[in-house]
Chains A and B, each alone.
Chain A
Amino acid sequence: MQLDLGTPMGVTLGLLPEILVCAWALIVLLVASWRHETAADSRLAGWLSFVGVALGGAGLAWLWINNTTPLGLAQMVTLDPFRYAAAALILVATGGAILLSLGYLERELLLAPEYYPLMLLAASGMMFLAGAEDLIVLFLGLEVMSVAVYVLAGYNRANASSSEAALKYFLIGAFASGFLLYGIALVYGATGTTNLSLIGAQLAGGQLSLMAALGLGLLLIGFGFKVAAVPFHMWAPDVYDGAPTPVTAFMATGVKIAAFAALVRVLVEGFPAAHGLWQPVIAGLAIASMIVGNLVALAQPTIKRMLAYSSIAHAGYLLAAVWPGTRLGSGAVLLYLAAYGLTTLASFGFLAALGRHGERSVTYDDLAGLAVTRPWIAAGLSICMLSLLGFPGTFGFIGKWYILSALIAEGQIILPVVLVITSVISAGYYLPVIMAMYMKSPASEDVHQGVRLYPAAAGAIALSVVAVLVFGFWPRGALEASVHSTGTLSQMSVPVARK
């Protein structure tokens, strides 16, 4: 099916998932303005929002199944499988985060139901970000997403570190947006357009002007902040640590998926001709993130901070997958985002349950002996840790294998070697989690008594863990989907020259 994005009808249909999610968020807000007192009201808003995610998913499925493409040049937003795949991942992350929040908010007595519409708004911003074909739309999507997530990060007003997280995230985020906006302005000045395909066409063949190069550099800095790549990562540990755990899960998955999808599109569609310029930068960011993220994670006393640093390391692996700029590379980014997203969602879900009332920070020692009293939680968390480690039999391994293949197919060797060596380092902090649960004895008999997994969260986590295992052993479907999703992305762009 082809849609003419020049007509109002065409745009409406092309943006169906975003519009559905956004409009549904307003409806939930409306409901919430009447019912915002009790735990039941909060639950209602939560389930309503989950329905909104499902609606968005239905709209997305309609576009994807009909294989919708734009008539002529895509303006503002694209219609291609890469966008659909990224949007699908974002919706899964959002749905998962909502399910994790349901029991958590009641437990922590954060009963204001506006929480859920904010998540939906953030999701629509993410989808805009991942589908933007124009730098202005990209910026708008980014801001819609960010503003909603700033509020979510500070949702636990009574908690000082949550407020600190929100303020920190807001200040750094504003800073990053500034960089991004400057970059967009300079690129516009150099090429006279903000459309990515047109920028790509403008820059193809000719010498890259200083202004365009500066613009590209500022864009990369902006993205570096958003994906928390070293050296732009300083905000991430405090924000991840301070925010309510389901929000952290949402940030670590949704925000990352959207930002990486946008980054891939900007580089592969807008700047394929400048790959000589951005590839070294991406490689440097990737190596720095992998090394710093993994090394600093070793020294973290609490699981949540460890996961925050590990997410920096994973940003490094993903940046390595961005490096080739090929179809294989973009496929690897998508697949790794899926693997990382599912695993991270489940890990933070477990962590939220283990935090118990009052969101105590969970240390390694707090996990001691969990396998005896709560064998299922221990088994699930172990599978998550192994998947993050990239161990065979899990989805995380397939993701890493794909990244290695994409890099090696382009003759790159340094990034793969750094990737595997830092992965070995990461065993030094993922394994102690398993070790504490299985090999240490609990401090006292009833130490794990308050741990409770709420049914909705348990369902979401169980599905994620099963998916991590299933895709670990039968990755065929996921692989083919990821390869298929990147088809149009590379067709539209000038192929990156092979060395």
Chain B
Amino acid sequence: MSNFLASVAFNQWILHALVLLPLVGVVPVLLGDDRSARRTALVVSLIELVLSLGLWWSFDPVEGGMQLVSSAPWIPAWGISYRVGIDGISLFMVLLTTVMMPLSILASWSSITRRERAFYALMLTLLTGLIGVFIALDLFVFYVFFEIMLIPMYFIIGIWGGANRLYAAIKFFIYTMAGSLLMLVAIVVMAWKVAGATGTLSFSYEHLLANAGTLGSAAPWLFAAFALAFAIKVPIFPLHTWLPDAHVEAPTAGSVLLAAIMLKIGTYGFLRFAVPFFPQVALSPEVTHLMVLLAVIGVIYGALVAMVQPDIKKLVAYSSVSHLGFVMLGIWGVSVISVQGALMVMISHGISTGALFLLIGMIYERRHTRMIEDYGGIARVVPIFSLILTVVALSSIGLPGLNGFVGEFLVLLGSFPAYPWATGLATTGVIFAAAYLLWALQRMIFNRLDNPENESLTDLTRRELVVLLPLIVGIVWLGLFPGPVLRRMEPATQRFVETVQAGRPNPMQLSGQGSR
């Protein structure tokens, strides 16, 4: 495989192709008629998936730095170039994106019946934006992708969403924009300050990372701006209030992509930018305490609120707040194990929660209700659906042998030495997760079949099985054999931990940090 990829110079064009292909695909989608739009979009996203799978082999698993880097000048007068590359962190984010996209498109097959061309064109545009965010190595380019993907998601929620879609769409947009614009100021300030110290105005990631030490007393403010932008995206408690609205109102494909990928942009931002740029701020006692506290609150609060939701989609939305709390805890654990765990949670949450939203979408299409109490005992009517829902729910809970367990276990293991109390508290989140999901399962698919409307439910179609099967395979495979994935992550996490630990404030000279 590697030889074949090398013979076609795969590494030189793959990242550009991944960004451009969906945009090119928008053209036939818009030119065709409404019924063929979905097929075209599916084909484009499948080609994208096949291409991206090549990264698995062409990626060098022992290299910790950026790979496949290539750049082209964009606005040279301002030190801006179109610069892309991946490492062991972004590789999996890219793969997660390319896997989830065709599944989301296939899941929209029958549920999107109006303005299909527009819908699938927006999905493909969103794909470009998501890939771009994860591979950008220039902060201007990153910002542009970070913002541009708001537009397709705004339309997807606003046009094809539920009853309260307008409110959810504008809330989602304004929350994200509020954070990201302050980050824009921080990016410009950072570039000019580094330019003042080094004489080179450049927005290149490596240049800024190498010279972030020259920022001095501005660092806390800059960190705050970056952290706010990503914290809203994650979302960290108490900035999470846009999430339930957006996830619940969005159509199934929108919810899947929001949960599986767009939330990860926040944690990815912490891993890639906020923490490595400003380790002396991020790991200072005050910030550490705050972030760990908010992470643990997120884990427990998300789980408790999920428990009382009558709406299954809202329950899953709040469970995201809980899971993402684990990721934040893992990042702030700053050990190779905890950060690997955080990455694993990011991937597993993408797969499991994506699958949950898909399943909810499928049952909603049949019954047009998301209220848990409207169901009950449907395991007898739709056994395959119930079986898959149970497996996915167990993986989300973190049952050993399935994917959810690996990440959360590593996070708890890796963070325990640094924060024994916080880790102990976070462990209860796993228990709560079992409580809310199993209870919901019990009320939905077990119990007595007492609602006659549920008796005529039909089980999953072949198309729906095709959508779910890859995710089930992923759930089991990652749970049993996480090794190959962890191995590819390890050099990059190692490097992350080293960078951050090197910049960690020394307790002896904390007071002298500002004047550096």
On A, residues with C-beta under 8 Å from B are 386, 391-393, 401, 404-405, 408-409, 413, 416-417, 420-421, 423-424, 427-428, 431-432, 435, 438-440, 475-476, 479-480, 483
Contact = CB atoms under 8 A, between A and B. Distances in A.
B75 interface: yes
A404 B147 contact: no
B78 A405 contact: yes
15 contacts: A391-B148, A393-B144, A393-B148, A408-B189, A417-B182, A421-B178, A421-B182, A424-B174, A427-B173, A428-B174, A439-B165, A475-B75, A479-B75, A480-B77, A483-B77
B217 to A, nearest CB: 12
A404 B184 CA distance: 9
B273 interface: no
B148 A401 contact: no
B75 A392 contact: no
Given A424-B174, A431-B173, A476-B74, 20 more contacts: A386-B151, A391-B147, A391-B151, A392-B143, A392-B148, A401-B188, A404-B184, A405-B192, A408-B189, A416-B188, A416-B189, A420-B182, A420-B185, A423-B181, A427-B177, A431-B174, A440-B166, A476-B76, A476-B77, A479-B77
A402 B188 CA distance: 10
B158 interface: yes
B393 interface: no
B137 interface: no
B192 A408 contact: yes
Secondary structure class of chain A's binding surface, majority of residues: helix
Contacts of B95: none
Contacts of B170: 427-428, 431-432, 435
Contacts of B143: 392
B159 interface: yes
A424 B188 CA distance: 18
A483 B76 CA distance: 13
B210 to A, nearest CB: 21
B113 to A, nearest CB: 15
B155 interface: yes
Contacts of A392: 143-144, 147-148
B478 interface: no
In the complex, which range does the number of interface residues on chain B fall in? 20 to 34
Interface in B155-179: 155, 158-159, 165-166, 169-170, 173-174, 177-178
A480 B78 CA distance: 10
Nearest to B181: A420
A445 to B, nearest CB: 16
Nearest to A409: B192
Interface in B87-110: none
Nearest to B170: A431
A435 B170 CA distance: 9
Nearest to B193: A408
A231 B185 CA distance: 27
A386 B144 CA distance: 13
Given A421-B181, A439-B158, A413 B173 contact: no
A439 B161 CA distance: 10
Contacts of B148: 391-393
A439 B192 contact: no
Contacts of B184: 401, 404, 420
Given A391-B147, A423-B181, A479 B188 contact: no
Contacts of A476: 74-77
Contacts of B154: 431
B158 A424 contact: no
Contacts of B182: 417, 420-421
Nearest to B165: A439
A87 B296 CA distance: 60
A408 B155 CA distance: 34
Nearest to B144: A392
Nearest to A422: B181
Interface in B119-167: 143-144, 147-148, 151, 154-155, 158-159, 165-166
A480 B148 CA distance: 25
A439 B188 contact: no
A58 B173 CA distance: 45
A427 B177 CA distance: 9
Nearest to A479: B77
* Those 10 A-B pairs whose CB atoms lie nearest each other, nearest first: A420-B181, A392-B144, A439-B158, A392-B147, A424-B178, A416-B185, A408-B188, A404-B188, A408-B192, A408-B189
Contacts of B181: 420-421, 423-424
A439 B77 contact: no
Contacts of A435: 158, 166, 169-170
B304 to A, nearest CB: 31
A393 B74 CA distance: 13
A392 B74 CA distance: 14
A405 B188 contact: yes
A438 B184 CA distance: 28
B133 to A, nearest CB: 12
B185 A438 contact: no
A416 B190 CA distance: 13
A408 B185 contact: yes
Nearest to A438: B159
Contacts of A420: 181-182, 184-185
Given A476-B75, A479-B77, A438 B173 contact: no
A439 B144 contact: no
Contacts of A409: 192
A404 B188 CA distance: 7
Interface string B69-93: 0000011111000000000000000
Contacts of A480: 77
A424 B155 contact: no
Contacts of A432: 170
Given A392-B147, A428-B174, A439 B166 contact: yes
B77 A424 contact: no
Contacts of B173: 427, 431
Contacts of B174: 424, 427-428, 431
A440 B403 CA distance: 42
A72 B147 CA distance: 50
A337 to B, nearest CB: 19
Contacts of B189: 408, 413, 416
A77 to B, nearest CB: 30
Contacts of A439: 155, 158-159, 165-166, 169
B177 A424 contact: yes
A438 B77 contact: no
A291 B155 CA distance: 28
Nearest to B189: A408
A440 B181 CA distance: 28
Interface string B185-219: 10011001000000000000000000000000000
A470 to B, nearest CB: 14
A392 B188 CA distance: 15
Interface in B247-304: none
A52 B15 CA distance: 50
A431 B158 CA distance: 11
A393 B166 CA distance: 24
